């Protein structure tokens, strides 16, 4: 339910009833007073109650999901669903399920990164303040696991050979995963070199 109309003796009472039914706070609502209360003869005969319409505001997450659905549909991905799968104090995660993974992910996840950047821009413009990530058919989760495993192996190689290891060009999301995977290793330092889309992560000894 996104809107409701309520009547009560006063406008405030009607608003309170509507907010309670929608389960939201006043800050999350748009209120329209449809009828002001009127007093009847002698204070009670023929009087009319206040009537209001309360509409739930679209959240930044809602705006992002709608934009994302429209975007992937225009790209030719049909029969897909987009929904917020996880929200914490730090971030919002939106999953895209269905459709052609290859079409939406692209080489090394570059298409998915672009989709995420556009969606994050719309999210922030609508008032969103958290870090937003977009995944397609669990690609990022699988990619994170693969990158973390690879990062640990290459870090051991750097320690064993004493030489730095240069990874293949990666998108911003993948580079961040590598940096995060090795940030607790006191023997290793990671940094990025080059310009997009050929920017690479370097794994080296401290």
Q: Which of 137, 164, 192 is the last residue of a domain?
A: 137
CATH number of the domain within which 111 lies: 3.30.300.20
pLDDT above 70: percentage of residues in the chain: 96
Q: Which residues pair with 21 in a beta bridge?
A: none
Helix or strand or coil: residue 1?
coil
Segment 11-20 shows an average pLDDT of 92
> Where in the sequence is the domain holding 67, given as residue range(s)?
60-137
Q: Using the 3D structure, point to which of 95, 117, 137 is the last residue of a domain.
A: 137
Spatial CB neighbours of 2, under 8 Å, sequence gap ≥ 6: 22, 55, 56
pLDDT tier at 120, thresholds 50, 70, 90: very high
Count the Cβ atoms, other than its own, within 10 Å of residue 132: 24
Q: What is the pLDDT of residue 110?
A: 87
What pLDDT digit, counting tens, does each position of 52-107 carry? 999 988 889 999 999 999 999 999 988 889 999 888 888 999 999 987 788 999 98
Mean pLDDT of 143-163: 96
The last residue of one of the domains, among 34, 56, 78, is 56
Query: In total, how many domains does the chain have?
Result: 3
pTM over 0.85: no
């Amino acid at each position: 339910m996104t809107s409701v109309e309520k009547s009560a003796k006063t406008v405030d009472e009607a608003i309170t009833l509507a907010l309670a039914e929608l389960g939201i706070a006043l800050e999350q609502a748009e209120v329209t007073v449809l009828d002001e209360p009127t007093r009847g003869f002698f204070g009670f005969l023929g009087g009319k109650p206040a009537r209001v319409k309360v509409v739930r505001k679209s959240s930044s997450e809602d705006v992002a999901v709608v934009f994302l659905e429209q975007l992937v549909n225009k790209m030719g991905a049909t029969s897909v669903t987009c929904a917020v799968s996880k929200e914490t104090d730090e971030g919002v995660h939106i999953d895209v399920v269905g459709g052609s993974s290859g079409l939406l992910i692209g080489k090394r996840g570059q298409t998915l990164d672009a989709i995420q950047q556009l969606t994050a821009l719309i999210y922030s413009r609508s008032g969103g303040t958290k870090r937003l990530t977009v995944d397609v058919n669990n690609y990022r989760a699988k990619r994170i696991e693969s990158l973390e495993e690879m990062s640990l192996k290459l870090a051991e190689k750097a320690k064993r050979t004493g030489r730095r290891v240069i990874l293949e060009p990666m998108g911003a999301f993948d580079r961040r995963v590598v940096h995060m995977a090795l940030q607790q290793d006191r023997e290793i330092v990671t940094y990025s070199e080059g310009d997009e889309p050929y920017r690479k992560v370097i794994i080296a000894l401290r």
